[in-house]
Amino acid sequence: AEKVTSLGKDWHRPCLRCEKCNKTLTSGGHAEHDGKPYCNHPCYAALFGPKGGCLWRGRGGSEGARGS
């Protein structure tokens, strides 16, 4: 089996998986929390990202409501 290194450890390629959804990850193409790998979206963002709404809210929307 092919070896990949991530989070300071060696993994079999199929064993490097998201802790939440079990999706296979690529070395360097994922997030980590407490030394465990997570896919960036949606798992890491949903579990550990900013709370309280979408950061992109209002983009592409009407600018006419400003300054009243």
Q: Is residue 27 a contact partner of residue 17, using CB atoms and an 8 Å limit?
A: no
CA distances from 46 to 24, 36, 64 (A): 18, 15, 32
For residue 27, give the nearest of 3, 6, 2 by alpha carbon.
6
The encoded tokens of residue 42 equal 């949606």
Q: Is residue 16 a contact partner of residue 4, using CB atoms and an 8 Å limit?
A: yes
In the predicted structure, residue 30 carries a pLDDT above the cut 70: yes
**Topology of domain 1-46, CATH:** Cysteine Rich Protein (2.10.110)
Q: Is residue 6 a contact partner of residue 31, using CB atoms and an 8 Å limit?
A: no
- The reply to whether the predicted model has a pTM over 0.85 is no
In the predicted structure, residue 43 carries a pLDDT above the cut 60: yes
Q: What is the pLDDT of residue 60?
A: 47
